[in-house]
Chain A
Amino acid sequence: MTPIDELLARVRLLDDPVVPADVVPDAPGEDTDTHPLLDAASPGPAPGPGRGWDSETAGDDLTNLCEAVVAHTAATSLRNFDTEHLPAPPGARTLGCILQLAQDEEGARFWWQYAAGAGDDAASYCLYLHHLAHGEIALAIWWQGQTRTGTQPDPEDATLPGAPEPMINLDASTPTMLRVLRHLVGSAERRRTELVSAVMDYVPSAVAVGYLDNPDFEIPLPRADFADHIGIILAVTAVYGDKTGTSRCHPARWPRLPGRPEYPRTRRLPRPKSSRPRNSRHILADFDTLSSGLLLHD
């Protein structure tokens, strides 16, 4: 059997599939007037998730992929901001992954759409998995089509995790690369680096706050000093080394720094419309502690 014969053998269809709800067209209503040769009373099975198709798998894969993206690209992708609010597309993709991991699905979707609109393939692929996980097959297929499957990465840009250069330039990646990545990182033993932890702690609340600062807009805009704070986090982890194993940067371990003007405490904000991470108060308090121990570079 040739390779193509094997593929063709696996594309044989079920006789009577259960059709996903979002693929079913609007039913035209009761119609008893049918051609005499067709069975009038057999409209077929009710729509539902495709038979045998497990949407949880997509959810797991998406989680693995997001972890991989954040772990390997946060340091570079979050550096570049087009404006003080808006990250460049790779950063937007990373933001989306962070929010997905923090269970802010609406925020994740927004940033991935933003990045995908700018041509970021990895973001389109994240949206494909995201919609699959929700059983939204038609949308998933659409995003799969937006991901350029023909693009091959340049060999010098593509490095595997664990290699000397841990950064992967996902701008040149393809769905194949992403599949490989998510399987390699799909380990229950995965431990987050300090950088990832710090970013994961900061970002969800910084973006959630954005809903309130702009009450007319239901979009997850980071607050005005977002870029600066990300820069701080990146600088700290760069200076003190990005070690795996601890779950949180501990200010007590840093050397004493010269005193500086007191950082204005963030006032306690009421709950935004989107769901907040569970430990948001803890995160805000930690961030204040974190930033008060740093030397601000203006």
Chain B
Amino acid sequence: MNSHPMLPQWPEGEPPSRPGRKLGPVAASVGAAHRAWLEPVRIRFLASGLTVTYLSERTGYAKSKISELLRGIGRYPRWEIAYSVMHVLDMPTWPMRRLWRAAAVEARKKPAWIDRCIEKVALSIGPALPPVDHRGFMEGKKRPYMAYTRAFLPDAGQAHRLVDETFDVLWLRWHEALTSPNIERFAWRVLRQAVMARTPHTDDGRPDLRAAGFNTVALNRTPGPQQLAQIEESMTLLQAMSRLPDQQLDVMVLKHMRGMHDAAIADVLGVPLASVHLADRYAKQQLTNAIYPQPDPGGPSQ
């Protein structure tokens, strides 16, 4: 049984439809959880070479409805239509249903509506478990992914849901992941995108890490009267850290906030060990310059 979602084959004798208008972008108002399933669907659709007309004919839904679904425009789509499109595109249905449901909650759909949608479509096809290699890969990533996520989103429930979503998206895109040059990097980018979509950001557009200053081991050991000073020290450092380039920031989070070893960090990020060392060194330099600025020696201004 083929557990990898393969691209649909053209039925024999039927000429491919001419491609219609280019698929428009995802609407800006689409939430993070909605985007999590919509983007894999769009990627699959674009890779398939199929047209909206074809999807419309196969699913029985109007072309306009298909088009709206693929762009995330209008009301949140019912599970029926989403399932129909994914079925034609031969996408694994169990993770899709989980993602669809999570996004329905995010879109503030009532639980009764969600349940009714789901009941209408009996899922009897498709494996309930991801491919074995996906499972193996994810097993090793569970802890570091949770650790990273909780640095930005300290609530365990929210972090669980986010990593859950990441695993499901990777299942959906598993073929793409396997054929990518570096599967760890591919997976890391999916997680990072999901985390950044939900982390509060500062005015200068960087992820806001300051809440983590309240959850340090050091603070836990600090007596009451000195706690404010400790919090403020941490927030100053975290504010400077958030301005680091993405990879340096990730290394600092995993290494110093989470205590991971360099080799483990390299494996999680999908980068060479040497670049973890380099990132750490450059990041410390940047942080030192930001937090302990040197007085102007009096030379030409920079």
Q: How far is the CB of A296 from chain B (nearest CB, A)?
A: 45
Given A11-B256, A12-B259, A179-B232: A43 and B156 within 8 A (CB)?
Answer: yes
CB distance from B106 to the nearest CB of A (A): 7
The chain A residue sitting closest to B163, CB to CB, is A38
Instruction: Verify A14–B164 contact, CB threshold 8 A.
Output: no
Q: Is the CB of B98 within 8 A of A17?
A: no
B interface footprint on A47-66 (CB within 8 Å = 1, 0 otherwise):
10011111011101100000
Interface residues on B, range: 35 or more
A-B contact count (CB 8 A): 171
**Contacting pair A28 B257 (CB below 8 A):** no
The closest CB in chain A to the CB of B159 belongs to: A44
In contact, A17 and B215 (Cβ under 8 angstroms): yes
Contact segment of B61-69, B206-214, B266-274: B206-214
Return the contact of B102 from the options A31, A39, A47 (Cβ within 8 A). Answer: A31
**Which of B1-9, B47-55, B82-90, B234-242 contacts its partner?**
B234-242
Is A7's CB under 8 angstroms from B233's CB?
yes
Interface of A is mostly: loop
Are B164 and A137 within 8 A (Cβ)? no
In the complex, per-residue mask of A23-46: 1 if CB is within 8 Å of any chain B CB, else 0: 111011101011111110011110
B230 within 8 A of A: yes
Kindly identify which residue among A11, A25, A36, A61 contacts B218, using a CB–CB cutoff of 8 Å: A11
Question: Contact at A38–B215, with CB atoms within 8 Å?
Answer: no
Q: How far is the CB of A56 from chain B (nearest CB, A)?
A: 7
- Inter-chain contact A132/B228, CB cutoff 8 Å: yes
CA distance A56 to B228 in the complex (A): 10
- A13 touching B151 by the CB < 8 A rule? yes
Could you tell me if A23 and B154 are in contact, using CB atoms closer than 8 angstroms?
A: yes
Contact B105 A29, beta carbon cutoff 8 Å: yes
Asked if A166 is at the interface of the complex by the 8 Å CB criterion, the answer is: no
> Which among B164, B210, B256 is the interface contact of A144 at CB below 8 angstroms?
B210
Cβ-based interface call for A145 (8 A):
yes
Task: Say yes or no: A47 contacts B142, CB within 8 Å.
Answer: no
CB pair A28–B284 under 8 Å, yes or no, is: no
- The answer to whether B210 and A50 touch across the interface, beta carbons within 8 angstroms, is no
Do the beta carbons of B167 and A54 come within 8 Å of each other?
no
In the bound complex, what is the Cα–Cα distance between A20 and B155 (angstroms)? 9
Residues of A within 8 A of B224 (CB): 54, 56-57
Which listed residue, A24, A36, A129, A145, touches B210 by the CB 8 Å rule? A145
Q: Given known contacts A33-B101, A36-B128, A43-B156, is B237 in contact with A7 (CB within 8 Å)?
A: yes
B12-20, B179-187, B189-197, B287-295 - the one binding chain A: B287-295
Please tell me if A10 contacts chain B, counting CB pairs below 8 Å.
Answer: yes
Task: For the complex formed, measure the closest distance between the CB of B150 and the CB atoms of chain A, giving whole angstroms.
Answer: 8
Q: Does B203 lie at the interface of the complex (its beta carbon under 8 Å from any beta carbon of A)?
A: yes
Q: How far is the CA of A142 from the CA of B252 in the complex (A)?
A: 23
* Closest A-B pairs by Cβ, 9 of them: A44-B156, A17-B215, A52-B220, A10-B218, A28-B105, A43-B157, A50-B214, A54-B224, A8-B256
Further contacts, 15 of them, CB under 8 A, given A10-B218, A13-B257, A19-B154: A5-B284, A8-B287, A11-B212, A11-B216, A11-B257, A13-B150, A20-B211, A23-B154, A24-B157, A34-B98, A37-B138, A50-B214, A50-B219, A141-B235, A144-B235
- Can you name 10 A-B residue pairings with CB atoms under 8 Å? A10-B230, A11-B257, A19-B215, A23-B211, A28-B105, A37-B142, A37-B167, A44-B155, A137-B214, A144-B235
